[in-house]
Amino acid sequence: MPIRFHLDEHISAGIAAGLRRRNIGVTTAMDADLAGADDAAQLAFAAATGSVLVTQDADFLRLHAQGVPHAGIAYCRQGSIPMGAVLRRLVLLYDLLSPAEMAGKVEFL
């Protein structure tokens, strides 16, 4: 079973579209009716669906450090790399890692 992604509300819809064009499973905060939901709710949804949370919000790194269980976090500091690079790095994670290898880990994009 391959990695699935869940994009928090601050990740561009273009990333979701790019993943979908490559037949990679992805949900967004809007898809999941989580727009405006707190970080814990976003992470809980991603964990419940076995999805790697994609975010630019450092608060998720704090939740990870506190031991909150999750299916993986792909973190990119806002504005640090172009959207195309974020997409390429997510595709690379999808190609190289399994859900078990991502579970409970943070990958910095």
Q: What is the pLDDT of residues 31-62, one digit of tens each?
A: 999 988 999 999 999 999 999 999 999 999 99
Instruction: Please list, in sequence order, all residues whose beta carbon lies within 8 angstroms of the beta carbon of residue 50, skipping any fewer than 6 positions away.
Output: 4, 71, 99
Domain residues for 51? 4-108
Tally of domains within the chain: 1
Category of 68 on φ-ψ map: left (φ > 0), alpha (ψ -120 to 50) or beta: beta
The CATH code of the domain that includes 15 is 3.40.50
pTM of the model: 0.94
**How far is 32 from 50, CA to CA, in rounded Å?**
14
How much is the pLDDT for 1? 84
How much is the pLDDT for 94? 98
Give the residue ranges of the chain where pLDDT is below 50: none
Nearest CA-CA partner of 19 in 87, 99, 101: 87
